[in-house]
Structure 1
Amino acid sequence: MEWLSSQNHIFLALLATLMTWAMTALGAAMVFFFKEINRRVLNTMLGFAAGIMIAASFWSLLAPAIEMAEDSAIPAWLVAAIGFIGGAAFLYLADRIIPHMHLNSKEGESEGIPTHLKRSILLVFSITLHNIPEGLAVGVAFGAIANGITDGSLMSALAIAIGIGLQNFPEGAAVSIPLRREGLSRSKSFFYGQASGIVEPIAGVLGAALVMFVKPVLPYALAFAAGAMIFVVVEELIPEAQSGSHESTHLATAGCIIGFAIMMILDVALG
């Protein structure tokens, strides 16, 4: 019965991350209705995504990690710090190795190892990097509940999935619409936009399976996902959201505040 329960929670993690992928696809589908995306709207959406990720990193990941580590032989703050720094370091290495390009980058300004890949592919790789810690966060939350080693409930895990899904919508649009502006067809722009979210179900299932069968790593895994998400926010989302006029950067800040508040409410109310 324990194995059956584990299978159920892995399946739930898969369903939840498929939902977040679907939200990415829904955002990417905006390319069928718009060819341009206003800079102020884009900055607001990016700020909103950053706010949700910051709130999820603390309320849904770091705080539970510290609570779970209180009974371990290692100080709880050290467990959280190791996992948090490890997550940031992982994304840093991926950022240095995987070829990608940010939304506001110009032609020839790709990062990672040198490549001749098209700009469209590099933009997809950039958003895909964002989605690895997001899928991992959802999977780890469901794995923790299956193990019975958190005071949270199924609703708290769903809150994380809903929050990640909400911020995936603008990310999908932020990929597909610029690709359309660069000359790609609507169908290709949509395909590339939704493809950036395909890594989330993979990371979600792996995260759930890992913490369910290797119980001691759960606090580290939660903090790891938090560190990776904060790295994405500071490295990419906030700088991109702060480009443009003063008015658009103010809107990005407002979007961040609103996103944080929504994710905090979701986590506290549902958790």
Structure 2
Amino acid sequence: MLEWLSELNPTVQALFGGLLTWGLTALGAASVFFFKRIEKHTLNMMLGFAAGVMIAASFWSLLAPSIEFSEQNGQIPWVAPAIGFLLGGFFIRLLDYVVPHLHLGETKEKAEGPETSLNKSTLLFLAITLHNIPEGLAIGVAFGAASLGIGDATLVGAIGLAIGIGIQNMPEGAALSVPLRGEGMSRWKAFHYGQLSAIVEPIAAVIGAAAVLLIQPLLPYALAFAAGAMIFVVVEELIPESQSSGSKDLATLGLMVGFVVMMILDVSLG
């Protein structure tokens, strides 16, 4: 199968990587057919796990290769990673400003972004969708880097990144669909919202791969951009939500486990 995948265009590879993460999100969202609610301590641990995976992926799969690529190209090693990282954070902050959304566990009155008449379910969906964008970009950039044969970037490593992000998407899908079910939404509708939140990932993955293939010098910036966007989401959303109401130790342990799982995937497959 790996040989078959290696023969495909990198944008198609990225598309498959994004579809994998979307499929695993749908699998997590399908838990709504078995549970009507998630205990708060379980939800906190799930969000902590997702944060750990994203932190590890940001360094091992994105920032470290960005520094390496810059050095190989004769550039000052930290310039492109620093610029790209900051731009990624500013990008998500801009989306936060222009797209109305609501974080898990908050009342509609605490919705962020411009004022809107959208219902709470839609606002929750938009919040999860926003932080799936940098994950999709990260996958696309990883596949693009592997196709260019730069540094230690490999197809297997890109697949490992997609698997890691997909694993942490499973609890995210459940974290959206099950609370929606608890608020009275039908199981099928709650599942639909949960899985649909990750449909942006295949799209962003294709964009990320195409960008680095068309403009190769963009690669170290693009890698760091995806890392910065992911870290912004972790610090601004996932960690505060996981620590918001009790079970802080479980949430922290979940983060550490998520970090280790992603680190093992990256080191063993990268």
Asked whether the two chains share a fold, i.e. TM above 0.5, the reply is yes
Name stretches of at least 5 consecutive residues in structure 1 with no aligned partner.
none
Q: Residue 80 of structure 1 corresponds to which residue in structure 2?
A: 81
Q: Residue 267 of structure 1 corresponds to which residue in structure 2?
A: 266
Q: Residue 188 of structure 2 corresponds to which residue in structure 1?
A: 187
- CA deviation string 1:64-112 (max 9, x = no partner): 0000001446412111100000000000110111000000211221100
Is 1:117 matched with 2:121?
no
SS at match of 2:221: helix
Q: Residue 258 of structure 1 corresponds to which residue in structure 2?
A: 257
Name stretches of at least 5 consecutive residues in structure 2 with no aligned partner.
1-5
Q: Residue 162 of structure 1 corresponds to which residue in structure 2?
A: 163
SS at match of 2:220: helix
Find the aligned partners of 1:72 and 1:149 in 2 and give their Cα distance.
10
- CA deviation string 1:189-224 (max 9, x = no partner): 000111100100000001001101110000000000
Q: Residue 135 of structure 1 corresponds to which residue in structure 2?
A: 136
Find the aligned partners of 1:61 and 1:6 in 2 and give their Cα distance.
24
Q: TM-score, structure 1 length as denominator?
A: 0.96
After superposition, residues 21-100 of structure 1 pair within 5 angstroms as 21-72=22-73, 74-100=75-101
Letter in 2 for 1:145: A
Letter in 2 for 1:191: H
Offset at 1:237? 0.1
Find the aligned partners of 1:80 and 1:55 in 2 and give their Cα distance.
16
Offset at 1:145? 1.1
Q: Residue 3 of structure 2 corresponds to which residue in structure 1?
A: none
Report the aligned-residue RMSD. Answer: 1.2
- CA deviation string 1:222-254 (max 9, x = no partner): 000000000000000000000112xx1110000
Offset at 1:53? 0.2
Find the aligned partners of 1:254 and 1:109 in 2 and give their Cα distance.
28
Find the aligned partners of 1:54 and 1:71 in 2 and give their Cα distance.
25
Find the aligned partners of 1:78 and 1:215 in 2 and give their Cα distance.
16
Q: Residue 12 of structure 1 corresponds to which residue in structure 2?
A: 13
Q: TM-score, structure 2 length as denominator?
A: 0.96
Find the aligned partners of 2:211 and 2:252 in 1 and give their Cα distance.
36
Letter in 1 for 2:213: M
After superposition, residues 104-253 of structure 1 pair within 5 angstroms as 104-245=105-246, 248-253=247-252
Residue 34 to residue 117, structure 1, CA distance change in 2 (3 Å): same
Offset at 1:150? 2.9
Letter in 1 for 2:248: T
Find the aligned partners of 2:74 and 2:269 in 1 and give their Cα distance.
31
Letter in 1 for 2:138: A
Find the aligned partners of 2:105 and 2:240 in 1 and give their Cα distance.
9
Find the aligned partners of 1:222 and 1:6 in 2 and give their Cα distance.
23
Letter in 2 for 1:41: T
Find the aligned partners of 2:12 and 2:71 in 1 and give their Cα distance.
29
Offset at 1:159? 1.0
Identity %, equivalent residues: 62
Offset at 1:186? 0.5
Find the aligned partners of 1:139 and 1:107 in 2 and give their Cα distance.
34
Find the aligned partners of 2:108 and 2:131 in 1 and give their Cα distance.
21
Letter in 2 for 1:133: P
- CA deviation string 1:28-64 (max 9, x = no partner): 1100100010001100000000000000000000000
- CA deviation string 1:113-168 (max 9, x = no partner): 11010000000000001100000000000001111223221111011001000000
SS at match of 1:76: coil
Find the aligned partners of 1:100 and 1:80 in 2 and give their Cα distance.
29
2:147 touches 2:155 (CA, 8 Å); kept in 1?
no
1:6 touches 1:146 (CA, 8 Å); kept in 2?
no
Offset at 1:176? 0.3
Residue 129 to residue 160, structure 1, CA distance change in 2 (3 Å): same
